[in-house]
A and B are shown apart, each in its own frame.
Chain A
Amino acid sequence: MNKFDEEKLVSDIMDPKNQRKAFEEMVSRFSPQLYAQIRRMVLDHDDADDILQNTYLKAWSSISTFRGDSKLSTWLYRIAYNETLAFLGKQKDHIPLDDPEASVVNHLMADEYFDGNEEEARFQAAIQKLPPKQRQVFNLKYFEDMKYETMSELLGVTVGGLKASYHLAVEKIEYFLSKED
């Protein structure tokens, strides 16, 4: 979407007359990107779907607080990120303790919406071992090539902090994977 279009969408979102239609356009435009970010964090399609829908419900209920100071995508992304962290916080109590990594690999290999081999499942399992905030930094940098400056705006963390976090995440993943070999 070019800048002009986003500006138009923002002005429509803030106009009660066009709000609903603009919101619908926003949902259809941003969903694939938001879904991918959520899905990488939670792995399961149904969970990602729930979180994404909750994100939009929260966005709608707090739409009057959106003043257009930040980009629409940044505002939405922050809501999605907070929803994801809240979900992961609740999920922590249900993770099997015996062998969580094997459990993630088995779960992915049995998932009809996972289109990868066992090696890729192991890679995802290693990423899942990272703490949620570090996992998000890794995913955004590794899979989306997001600039640290953009990430800083999204996550509210300094560029230096993000670089350190990513570097540490790479080292941890390397360690997790080498331990299995």
Chain B
Amino acid sequence: MKEEQIIAHFGKKNPFKTPDGYFEGLTSRVMSQIPENEVVMTPRHRSKIWMYVAASFCGLLVLGTLISQTVTTDSEMPMELAQENNQLEDSSYLEDMVDYALISDAMIYYEYMSDEE
């Protein structure tokens, strides 16, 4: 039984009915449920929005202060310590590269020894 057969057998009639006058009553029922104005911005809503704005502003202020402190600490770091820090960062970057490139310790050792020769 394909689509044509289903249509031939059952047709396309809508077997669903509604109570008499349903659609006439529906419009007035819907309209009686919706508020008079589209979006009513109550004082409570307004104060909530201002609270969110104030909270976001405070968050940004704290974040900005933290970032500026970190930058200051880095620039005030003694030269040796800063270099060591950079080396550590470079080293972890290299380790990641080695991991991604799937280079084994044996390959590194082989390359190192051939350079030495």
Residues of A within 8 A of B (CB): 16, 19-20, 23-24, 27-28, 31-32, 35-36, 39-40, 43, 45, 49, 52-53, 56-57, 60-61, 63-64, 113-116, 119-120, 123-124, 142-143, 170, 173-174, 177-178
For the complex, is B29 an interface residue (Cβ under 8 Å from A)? yes
Distance in angstroms from A102 CB to nearest chain B CB is: 18
Asked, given contacts A52-B26, A143-B12, whether A60 binds B17 with beta carbons under 8 Å apart, the answer is: no
Known contacts A19-B38, A27-B27, A170-B3: A123-B18 contact under CB 8 Å: no
A16 to B7 Cα, complex, angstroms: 47
The 5 closest A-B pairs by CB, nearest first: A116-B15, A113-B17, A60-B34, A123-B10, A28-B27
Of the four ranges (under 10, 10 to 19, 20 to 34, 35 or more), the interface on chain B belongs to 20 to 34
**Contact with B2, one of A32, A56, A61, A174 (Cβ below 8 angstroms):** A174
* Complex CA distance for A121 and B1, rounded to whole angstroms: 18
Say yes or no: A31-B27 contact (C-beta < 8 A), given A45-B19, A116-B15, A143-B14: yes
- Known contacts A16-B38, A60-B35, then 10 further A-B pairs from the complex at CB < 8 Å, ordered by chain A residue: A27-B30, A32-B23, A35-B23, A45-B17, A45-B19, A56-B34, A119-B10, A120-B13, A173-B6, A174-B5
Q: In the complex, what's the smallest C-beta–C-beta distance from B24 to chain A, in angstroms?
A: 8
Give B residues with C-beta under 8 Å from A.
Answer: 1-3, 5-7, 9-10, 12-19, 22-23, 26-27, 29-31, 33-36, 38-39
Q: Roughly how many angstroms separate A61 CA and B39 CA in the complex, as a whole number? A: 7
Please tell me if the beta carbons of A36 and B34 are within 8 angstroms of each other in the complex. no
Q: Contact: A60 with B38, CB < 8 Å?
A: yes
Pairs A–B under 8 Å by Cβ, sample size 8: A27-B31, A39-B16, A53-B26, A63-B38, A64-B38, A113-B18, A119-B10, A120-B13
Query: What B residues does A177 contact at CB under 8 A?
Result: 1, 6
Q: CB-CB < 8 A to A56: which residues of B?
A: 30, 33-34
Complex CA gap A28/B33 in Å reads 15
Checking A35, A61, A113, A174 against B6 with a beta-carbon cut-off of 8 angstroms, the contacting residue is A174
Enumerate chain A residues within 8 angstroms of B10, measured Cβ to Cβ.
119-120, 123
